[in-house]
Amino acid sequence: MPEYKAPQRDIRFVMNELLDSEGLYQSLPGCEEATSDLLDAIVAEGAKFCEEQLAPINQSGDEEGCHWSEAGVTTPAGFKDAYKQYVENGWPALSAPTEFGGQGMPGLMGIILNELAGSANWSWGMYPGLSLGAVRTVLEHGSDEQRQTWLGKLVSGEWTGTMCLTEAQCGSDLSLLRTRAEPNADGSYSVTGTKIFISAGEHDMADNIVHIVLARLPDAPEGSKGISLFIVPKFLVNEDGGVGERNPVYCASIEKKMGIKASATCVMNFDGAKGFLIGPPNKGLACMFTFMNVARLGTAVQGLAHGELSYQGALAYARERLAMRSITGPKNPDGPADPIIVHPDVRRMLLTQKAFAEGSRAFLYYLAQLSDVERFADAERAGAATDLMALLTPIAKAFITETGFESANLGVQIFGGHGFIREWGMEQIVRDARIAMLYEGTTGIQAMDLIGRKVLGSGGKLLLGFTARIQEFCTQHSDDNAAEFIKPLQAYCDEWAELTTKIGEAAMDNPDEAGAAAVDYLMYSGYVTLAYFWAQMAVLAQHKLAGNGAEREFYEAKLHTARFYFERLLPRTLAHKESMLSGSDNLMEMDEALFAF
């Protein structure tokens, strides 16, 4: 397994220089303490914890996996101790509200900690990972009593949270769910049903597990309009706030999976378990979107995390591995061969990994800032941030996980045959990364959400809100020495709008046209979005280099990587453009019987 080293310099570059976090948070009420010095110190401490405590048990956790018995699930060696230290250090409370025991730091810091922990050990990070969504859901939709009952222990990390949506007969189509909730005389509900694919549904790391569960009331309408949301804890809570009697919710089994083997993916049986309604009856899906949006960004971080870890391993190997001579002459004349980093194709793969990881980091940290604006700013700024989040979240979730998986595979390729061998750890990264394109909505579902609900559904308003920002940036820097980035970005921004119009017009005559174009449209959108962030980083690097300041190599690397992205990766949009404009006939005209073999 690669020795993970947190990319603190790049994190600080994005956080402080590119996105000016201190300037933003000084303008948001309640965030004024988030100075650059404090944010840097938090990153440094988080990096130390993840490097020293989580990374060393990543591969061993994969080898051991979780253990199921009727008594419960036990996690691999070292996981429970690491979680205990995580809680003692106060990490779960980092970006939670102070009124419930949190530290009140911006949500950006939660995303950064998620990246650090996920890169070091994604399986471990899934145990506390969903608690943030549970906290946000109870905070926004729970009653005052529910907030007082549940948030303190969730925020401290003494308890963890889960998201219970999926059932055997319904994956992403939640209108088909069957779990039911019968009202009790005391105002609670008896929840009965089976949920599958529940991450961290059962484990031995926390004193209680708080399940956020979708279920139907007896008089609920059919379909998605008849779903309600409930808090269903593993243990009920006593009057003093402590853990009480066992609730009848049990883990029937854990899945045998391709990857993330140290994370317990559970089948959960609710056998008349006591639950508590969150939000209005039959409005549970709308409430659950709060949780799902948090989880979608968390999953996007997984793409970044696995891309970063694979890049680190591949780069170290490419510098050390000797094979063949450079075609332009020996670069290691005293050795038997040259290090493989001198070969153009190896550099192509390394630069692809680097460009996707660093571009994705900028994209995700920007989204985290938008989430903070949404929470803390005035109504006008918050509304604009909400619109941007609505458009960009499905792009981030799908595009970053797709490119993160590509990067993980490139890491194996750079290692050659050694990458296929377990001891190096590169194949584990591929296995762990594969799930990210599936859970919290597949790439296809994110694509349909983007083109159907967010772009065409808003009449293009949400897209125009973002492309206007890109246009403003291009205009602002049109006179800079950055034409190689600004001119193509401007052209792609214009083309994005044109393609949207063409697909929208075609979909008015045949709705299948939107579905047929959706994934290519999303990937095109992702490449252009990342180009926007790489153009910003390139302009910033040029200004730093012009000032003859320190760290010239760092900024030169930024400029070179930006150039690689624009010349080598951004042209992939041409294939996506041709594919999305080819129409739905090449997909839909073939009779189903012809698929037979």
Active-site hit among 440, 484, 551, 592: 440
Which pairing describes strands 180-183 and 189-199: parallel, antiparallel, or unpaired?
antiparallel
Is 440 catalytic? The answer is yes
Spatial contact of 445 and 390, defined as CB atoms under 8 Å apart: no
What would the DSSP string read from start to end of 115-174? HHHHHHHHHHHHHHHTHHHHHHHHHHHS-HHHHHHHHHHHHHTSEEEEEE--BTTBSS-G
Residue type, position 498, single letter:
E
Spatial contact of 496 and 525, defined as CB atoms under 8 Å apart: yes
3-state secondary structure of 109: helix
How far apart CA 316 and CA 326 sit, in angstroms, is 18
Query: Greatest CA separation found in the chain?
Result: 84
Give which of 41, 54, 63 is closest to 114, Cα–Cα: 54
Q: Angle at Cα 270 formed by Cα 264 and Cα 275, nearest 5°?
A: 110
Spatial contact of 429 and 450, defined as CB atoms under 8 Å apart: no
Spatial contact of 278 and 138, defined as CB atoms under 8 Å apart: yes
Spatial contact of 236 and 244, defined as CB atoms under 8 Å apart: yes
3-state secondary structure of 183: strand
How far apart CA 426 and CA 418 sit, in angstroms, is 9
Spatial contact of 498 and 518, defined as CB atoms under 8 Å apart: no
Spatial contact of 440 and 340, defined as CB atoms under 8 Å apart: no
How far apart CA 193 and CA 215 sit, in angstroms, is 8
How far apart CA 86 and CA 90 sit, in angstroms, is 7
Which pairing describes strands 243-246 and 235-237: parallel, antiparallel, or unpaired?
antiparallel
**Encoding tokens for residue 195?**
């949920």
Residues identified as active-site? 440
